[in-house]
């Protein structure tokens, strides 16, 4: 008889934050309950990235549309799961023509690869404020392992407790076959996902 | 006592360029000065990545417009009836002016074509969308290896053109305010309904 962990699943535009969410809860080790219900606030959720280029300002971008699911098992952290799906077409780097270029075949190739996906494979608690989520990232149809460090911060008290999450990862775009513009455009893409969730 | 010097010029041959040549000249003046300013600002102006992307795209579109315009100007000044008789000038001045004018046309062509070369050789290959209307293809047979050369050529030719424009403006102002001869009026803007 397999012990089925108590779990919650949340879905929504903001849920990419799942990562943070899930792991955050783990890190803070919410007392006395094996699972707690957390709702992500989409308005406070941002999936952003930064990339450098030679003789060019650092480009900052954000994905506006995403969805995800999260299952938290506080007693067995390793059984927690998180996955998210980001719409490549929703990339926003600050100007319409720049967006078109980033979406085009030379970079995200959004028409061919509409989503960028992440699914966790393991979760490890680093300390009281940080967890490390390891998973598979699929970009341009190529799947590679990715480690994400998540910082958790408790905001507010009592019945209105809120958890802030900041997840950081560095992606080597060459690993996914995104070679265009290299070496003028850096191979490293810094990913920062921030979110806030509240208990209900 | 009625009329003085004014009628003298009016009775002579009309040395003014055709309205089309004059209009294209001032259009080119505005375009080239704008492109030089934009070219400097997009590199040194401190704009963020997105704004800078747009400025580069705008510079490319206006650059191709300048290329089309210089070709149109060369055609227009050769059209029958477009070229007026020369303004009264000493021979050395006429030769210097012809040389400078030829260099202005040549440099405009070099700047525009080297810009096209820069775009074609760029490692970061960004399609040239002419004012978002259609894509202008890259020059064939151009590789990344030519990028440095093309960039240097574009940069030097642009600064040389800026210097030559300054000389051209200075000479025109000299004719207008020092010599007070008919040279300025050959290319002076004229508004419809006014003589």
Per-residue model confidence as pLDDT tens for chain B (195 residues):
343 333 344 445 678 899 999 999 999 999 999 999 999 999 999 999 999 999 999 999 999 999 999 999 999 999 888 888 877 889 999 999 999 999 999 999 999 999 999 999 999 989 999 999 999 999 999 999 999 999 999 999 999 999 999 999 999 999 999 999 888 889 998 776 655
Q: Is the peptide bond between A183 and the residue preceding it cis, with omega within 30 degrees of 0? A: yes
> H/E/C letters for each residue in chain B?
CCCCCHHHHHHCCCCCCCHHHHHHHHHHHHHHHHHHHHHHHHHHCCCCHHHHHHHHHHHHHHHHHHHHHHHHHHHHHHCCCCCCCCCCCCHHHHHHHHHHHHHHHHHHHHHHHHHHHHHHHCCCCCCEEECCCEEECCCCCCCHHHHHHHHHHHHHHHHHHHHHHHHHHHHHHHHHHHHCCCHHHHHCCCCCCCC
Q: Cβ of A105 under 8 Å from any chain B Cβ?
A: no
What tens digit of pLDDT does each residue of A10-35 get? Answer: 333 433 344 444 443 443 434 434 45
Q: Which two tokens stand for residue B144?
A: 């990344």
Residue A197 has pLDDT above 90, yes or no: no
At residue A9, does pLDDT exceed 90? no
Buried b (16+ CB within 10 A) or exposed e, A10-26: bebebbbbbbbbbbbbb
Answer whether B57 sits within 8 Å of A60, measured CB to CB.
Answer: no
How far apart are the CA of B66 and the nearest CA of chain A, in angstroms? 22
- pTM of the model as a whole: 0.83
Task: Determine the pLDDT at residue A155.
Answer: 79
pLDDT at B150: 97
pLDDT of residue A44: 87
pLDDT in tens, A81-97: 778 899 999 999 999 99
H/E stretch holding A85: strand A81-87
Quick check: B48 and A98 CB within 8 A? Answer: no
CA A25 to chain centre: 15
CATH number for the domain harbouring residue A105: 2.40.128.110
Q: Do A97 and B54 touch (CB under 8 A)?
A: yes
In the predicted structure, residue A195 carries a pLDDT above the cut 70: yes
Is residue A72 very low, low, confident or very high in pLDDT (cuts 50, 70, 90)? low
| Token pair listed for B194 | 């006014």
CA distance B162 to B36: 7
Structural domains in chain A (count): 1
Higher pLDDT, A73 or B10: A73
Residue of B nearest to A181 (CA): B124
Predicted pLDDT of residue A84: 84
Mapped onto helix, strand or coil, the DSSP state of residue A66 is strand
Confidence of residue A68 (pLDDT cuts 50, 70, 90): confident
Average predicted confidence (pLDDT) for chain A = 80
The answer to whether residues A50 and A60 touch, using CB atoms and an 8 Å cutoff, is yes
Helix axes B49-78, A96-103, angle to 10 degrees: 100
pLDDT tens, A103-149?
999 999 999 999 999 999 998 888 888 889 999 999 999 999 999 99
Question: B110 — phi, psi (to 5°)?
Answer: -65, -45
Q: For position A114, what pLDDT does the model report?
A: 97
Collapsed DSSP state (helix, strand, coil) of residue A180: coil
Cβ separation A184–B132 shorter than 8 A:
no
Please tell me the distance from the alpha carbon of residue B175 to that of residue B102, in angstroms, as a whole number.
Answer: 19
String of DSSP letters for A101-134:
HHHSTTTT-TTT--EEEEEEEEEEE-SSSEEEEE
- The predicted structure's pLDDT at residue A93: 98
A181–chain B Cβ distance below 8 A for any pair: yes
pLDDT for A160 equals: 72
CA atoms within 13 A on the CB side of B91: 0
Q: What is the residue range of A186's domain? A: 4-199
Provide the shortest C-alpha distance from residue B49 to chain A (in Å): 5
**Nearest 10 degrees: CA dihedral of B60, B62, B63, B66?**
160
Residue A16 has what DSSP assignment? G
User: Confidence class of residue A37 from pLDDT cuts 50, 70 and 90?
Assistant: low
Predicted local confidence at residue A158, as pLDDT:
66
For residue A156, the tally of other CB atoms under 10 A from its CB is: 13
Task: Give residue for tokens 């050789």.
Answer: B121
């Amino acid at each position: 008889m397999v012990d089925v962990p108590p779990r919650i699943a949340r879905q929504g535009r903001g849920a990419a934050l799942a990562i943070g969410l899930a792991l955050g809860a783990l890190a803070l080790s919410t007392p006395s309950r094996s699972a707690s219900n957390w709702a992500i606030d989409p308005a406070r959720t941002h999936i952003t990235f930064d990339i450098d280029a030679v003789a060019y300002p650092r480009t900052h971008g954000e994905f506006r549309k995403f969805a995800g699911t999260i299952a938290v098992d506080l007693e067995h952290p390793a059984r927690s799961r998180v996955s998210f799906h980001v719409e490549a077409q929703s990339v926003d780097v600050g100007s319409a023509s720049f967006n078109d270029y980033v979406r085009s075949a030379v970079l995200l190739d959004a028409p061919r690869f509409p989503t960028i996906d992440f699914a966790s494979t393991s979760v490890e608690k680093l300390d009281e404020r940080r967890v490390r989520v390891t998973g598979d990232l699929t970009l341009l149809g190529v799947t590679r392992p990715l480690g994400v460090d998540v910082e958790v911060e408790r905001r507010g008290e009592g019945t209105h407790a809120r958890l802030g999450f900041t997840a950081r990862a560095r992606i080597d775009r060459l690993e996914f076959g995104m070679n265009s513009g290299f070496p003028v455009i850096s191979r490293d893409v810094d990913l920062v996902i921030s979110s806030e969730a509240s208990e209900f | 006592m009625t009329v003085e010097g004014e009628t003298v010029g009016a009775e002579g041959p009309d040395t003014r360029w055709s309205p089309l040549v004059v209009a294209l000249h001032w259009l080119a003046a505005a375009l080239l000065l704008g492109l030089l300013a934009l070219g400097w600002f997009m590199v040194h102006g401190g704009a963020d990545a997105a704004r800078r992307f747009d400025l580069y795209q705008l510079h490319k579109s206006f650059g191709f417009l300048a290329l089309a315009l210089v070709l149109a100007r060369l055609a227009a000044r050769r059209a029958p009836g477009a070229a007026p008789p020369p303004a009264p000038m000493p021979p050395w001045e006429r030769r210097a002016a012809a040389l400078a004018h030829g260099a202005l046309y040549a440099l405009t062509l070099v700047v525009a074509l080297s810009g096209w070369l820069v775009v074609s050789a760029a490692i970061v290959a960004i399609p040239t969308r002419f004012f978002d209307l259609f894509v202008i293809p890259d020059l064939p047979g151009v590789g990344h290896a030519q990028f440095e050369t093309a960039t240097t050529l574009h940069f030097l030719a642009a600064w040389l053109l800026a210097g030559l424009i300054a000389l051209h403006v200075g000479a025109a102002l000299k004719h207008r305010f020092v010599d007070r001869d008919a040279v300025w009026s050959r290319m002076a803007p004229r508004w419809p309904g006014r003589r």
